[in-house]
A and B are shown apart, each in its own frame.
Chain A
Amino acid sequence: MAIDTTQQAIERLLLEREIEQFLYHEAELLDERRFSEWIDLIADDVHYHMPIRRNVKFGEQARENSDADSEISWFDEGKATLAGRVRQINTGLHWAEEPPSRVCHVVSNVQILDVHGDEVKVKSRFLVYRNRLQDEVDLFVGKREDILRRDPITGWKVAKRTIVLDQNVLLAKNITVFF
């Protein structure tokens, strides 16, 4: 995006700051296990997708990430399923998260790729550390590409989230954290 006036540069900076703060707020809610508040930041029509990464030949990168339209992914769902996951954790009987894991979301490299009306396309990196029980550690690292939508009344919502985990064989026994 070309910056040709100081005013545009300032607006851009403010938007970047606002987006970053939203992503940090989300991470905060997740790490504090305030899942019921987090799910309110998710748009009703969200598509939440974590593809599986294939080992492919040079030149076949288009097939590297599994396709949400026809293939198998780690996650490929909408808000109803995400909300079901929140209800499941909130039972206190979801053994994979009981006793609760200690989870730390580090979000960085936030880049605004596009602004289109009320929607902003944002790319970022994540490093999610999960530590549970005595000494169990999992590290999930990768890239996210979000479409965030500004709702004039309720603020920013996640309208689309693609989570590109940098693993082929998942090196964790399960994925019970949100990204």
Chain B
Amino acid sequence: MVHISRSRQDRSLRDLVDWEQGHVSREIYVNEDIYQQELEQIFGRAWLFVGHESQVPNPGDFFQSRMGEESVLLVRDRKGELHVFLNTCRHRGMKVCRYDEGNSLLFTCPFHGWSYDTDGRLVGVPNFQTAYRGELDKSAWGLHEVAQMSNFYGSIWATWDPKAPSFEDFLGAFVPSLRRSFEGSDGGDNGLEFFSPVQKWRLPTNWKFPGFSFAGDHAHGAMTHRSTTVAAFGPQGELAGGDRHGVPSRWASTEYEMSIPALGHGGHGRIYEQPGVGPYVETWQTVLQADDYYHEMRDKKAEKYAGQYLHGVSGCVFPNVICGGSRILLWHPHGVGVTESWRFYTVDKGAPKPVKDAQRRYMMRYCGPGGMTESDDMENWNYAYPASLGTVARRLDYNFQNGVGHAYADDRVPGFTLNYRIGEENQRSRLRRWLDFMEAGSWDELSPAKR
């Protein structure tokens, strides 16, 4: 049960989120009780992004990740199987691993020394024969493992809820889009590897500002990122007007907001008006090997997709991750007014070193807290939060009306709803799914998607 501030006692969650009309109470972004319920209802039940198999290639490799507010370990056990465990000792709760990544034979708690094998089994209990008299049932006290884990073309996802549907059913019509987010640039499945380490930083705002806005808010670009064109830091340098993105395909296409409203997934999308893959456009004016490489990869992709109509949509998966564009953007809740942002960068796993270097350096100057683009996003997400906190301010609704009533289906992209490229359809989709999760008593009411 949500206890909301006195002025809101007469409003249910449904009254707070009128996504049909685009009226959304600020309360859902600033209310502590609602936040606590999100941790339970959303982060305790939805499929969440954990990492990528390339981060743990060898037996014993681990990566300390996070689900919601809680630390988890992505581990490849000694037999080669992947696991996701809550990073807490079953004895007194201490973290069993405090390293960001590495390789280990055991996870040993530094408090009393309980120790777990890479498959989660409790194998070491000090004084087991003497003090415990050999009576402790070690098999019942292994590391707590997620209810379900999925390896989706190399990307690792997990949920705490045994009743959640399969990850593919959670994605629904979004499966092909997300699958392509993990393709190499030659169109091959599971074609990426992740760079190390992860950029992590704290952003003083509610997780939904970045989580629901990113790649769902095309309208911000022209204003928020006005200053970046003079910096000309895109891979093409000062060509193409110094745009921060690469040079786009010359094939005719239309950009849309593309979402799956019943599931909350979606993002910016582009639909080409002819089948296949457009001719290569020289992009990496400053790194010649990169153009040679990506040109060759484009030709392979064109063979694979010959005759097929392609659409590209940024891989925003409800609730808090965006996959694609050589990066994974993950927004962890860290208190109602703090988000811990995690940024993974990706590259074709077979790319030659000069290409990997070019890609990596482009991402660092573009993205993350030091990136010339996103440093400005942080400022806006930051200050939208405290400006919504006031007694009077929080009585007001946010306006999500951009494009209300103009969404439509399109046979070319089954399962998606389209709207004009600058709009708030994606954000309304996420809010709609947010409401479903917050109201549903269990996955029985969430799957198949309501309505």
Interface residues, chain A, with chain B CB atoms under 8 Å away? 50, 52, 54-57, 60, 66, 70-77, 81, 84-85, 87-89, 91, 93-96, 133, 168-176
Contacts and interface: CB of A to CB of B under 8 A. Distances in A.
12 contacts: A66-B196, A70-B195, A71-B196, A71-B360, A74-B370, A88-B230, A88-B231, A168-B200, A169-B201, A170-B201, A174-B369, A175-B375
Contacts of A84: 230-233, 365, 372
A176 to B, nearest CB: 5
A150 to B, nearest CB: 28
B369 to A, nearest CB: 4
A170 B99 contact: no
Given A81-B233, A84-B233, A93-B227, A66 B102 contact: no
Nearest to B363: A72
Contacts of B197: 52, 54, 66, 71-72
Given A171-B202, A176-B375, A50 B370 contact: yes
B233 A94 contact: no
Contacts of B230: 84, 87-88, 91
B99 A56 contact: yes
Contacts of B196: 66, 71-72
B356 A70 contact: yes
B379 interface: yes
B195 A88 contact: no
B102 A56 contact: yes
Interface residues of B, number: 45
A96 B227 CA distance: 10
B451 to A, nearest CB: 37
B239 to A, nearest CB: 14
A72 B227 contact: no
Interface string B182-217: 000000000000011111111110000000000000
Contacts of A77: 361, 364-365
A168 B340 CA distance: 12
B360 A72 contact: yes
B226 interface: yes
Interface string B338-355: 001000010000000100
Question: 7 shortest A-B CB distances, which residue pairs?
Answer: A84-B231, A170-B201, A174-B375, A93-B227, A94-B227, A173-B378, A174-B369
Contacts of A72: 195-199, 345, 360, 363-364
Nearest to B204: A173
Contacts of A93: 226-227
B199 to A, nearest CB: 6
A85 B199 contact: no
A76 B231 contact: no
Nearest to A72: B195
Interface of B: 98-102, 195-204, 224, 226-228, 230-233, 340, 345, 353, 356-357, 360-361, 363-365, 368-370, 372, 374-376, 378-380, 382-383
Nearest to B228: A88
A12 B375 CA distance: 42
Contacts of A60: 102
A88 B374 CA distance: 13
A87 B203 contact: no
B380 A95 contact: yes
Given A81-B231, A95-B380, A176-B375, 7 more contacts: A54-B101, A70-B356, A72-B199, A75-B370, A88-B227, A88-B231, A170-B369
A108 to B, nearest CB: 24
A170 B98 CA distance: 17
A168 B100 contact: yes
B222 to A, nearest CB: 11
Nearest to B364: A76
A69 B349 CA distance: 17
B32 to A, nearest CB: 21
A73 B380 contact: no
Given A52-B199, A71-B195, A75-B364, A96 B231 contact: no
A172 B99 contact: no
Contacts of A56: 99-100, 102
B181 to A, nearest CB: 19
B100 A54 contact: yes
Contacts of A73: 364
A55 B98 CA distance: 7
Nearest to A63: B102
Contact of A173 (B102, B202, B233, B365): B202
Contacts of A71: 195-197, 360
A74 B368 contact: yes
A66 B197 CA distance: 7
A113 to B, nearest CB: 26
A55 B375 CA distance: 25
Contacts of B383: 133
Contacts of A52: 197, 199
Nearest to B381: A173
Contact of B378 (A75, A91, A96): A96
Given A87-B230, A169-B200, A174 B379 contact: yes
Given A56-B99, A72-B345, A84-B231, A95 B224 contact: yes
